[in-house]
């Protein structure tokens, strides 16, 4: 497979042409801003994620000496994590509502509504893939 990638391209091979794109515009002529939230954001910051993993590792290690305590700590950690997830998604939904509220005036273009729906779809998909 790698040998095919490293082979020279024949002279008569079709060439790929670069296509210039034109920025999208709203009905009022303003440029459409691509939303930073189109890419899913991580559920936790790296340091927070590592903290949870470190704590979980400690719980697993502690099981050998104190199984009951390890299970209790696991229960507390999972409860804390679920609470943190709930808060994170609640905050994200509030953010969506606030953005929608800003755009829900009488002069809302179809493009604005499309972008709002895309943000909600992205959020919905994240909720379904947990």
Q: Is 62 exposed, middle or buried (0-12, 13-18, 19+ CB in 10 A)?
A: middle
Q: Report the pLDDT value the prediction gives residue 48, as an integer from 0 to 100.
A: 92
Closest CA to 63 of 47, 48, 74: 74
| pLDDT above 90 for 84 | yes
pLDDT digits (tens, 9 = 90+) for 62-75: 999 999 999 999 99
* Contacting residues for 127 by C-beta, under 8 A, at least 6 apart: 89
0.85 exceeded by pTM: no
Higher pLDDT, 14 or 128: 128
The whole-number pLDDT of residue 103 equals 60
Burial class (CB in 10 A: 0-12, 13-18, 19+), 42: exposed
Q: Which of 125, 44, 46, 130 is nearest to 80 (CA)?
A: 44
% of the chain with per-residue pLDDT over 70 = 64
Least-confidence region, from 25-34, 38-47, 88-97, 105-114: 25-34
For 65, the token pair is 């000496």
Residue in the structure block whose two tokens are 């790296």: 46
Q: How many whole angstroms separate alpha carbon 74 and alpha carbon 55? A: 9
- What was the pLDDT predicted at 126? 82
Dihedral sign of CA atoms 34, 38, 43, 45 in order: negative
- What pLDDT, on a 0 to 100 scale, did the predictor assign at position 44? 83
Kindly report, residue by residue over 9-65, the tens digit of the pLDDT: 556 555 544 444 445 554 555 554 444 445 566 778 899 999 999 999 999 999 999
pLDDT at residue 78 in the model: 96
């Amino acid at each position: 497979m790698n040998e095919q990638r490293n082979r020279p391209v024949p002279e008569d091979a079709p060439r790929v042409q670069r296509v210039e794109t034109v920025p999208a515009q709203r009905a009022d002529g303003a440029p459409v801003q691509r939303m930073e939230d189109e890419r899913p954001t991580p559920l936790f910051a790296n340091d927070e994620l590592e903290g949870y993993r470190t704590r979980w590792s400690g719980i697993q290690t502690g099981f050998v000496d104190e199984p009951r305590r390890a299970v209790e700590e696991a229960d507390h950690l999972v409860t804390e994590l679920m609470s943190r997830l709930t808060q994170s998604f609640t905050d994200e939904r509030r953010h969506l509502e606030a953005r929608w509220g800003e755009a829900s005036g009488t002069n809302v273009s179809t493009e604005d509504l499309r972008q709002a729906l895309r943000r909600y779809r992205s959020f919905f998909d994240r909720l379904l893939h947990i």
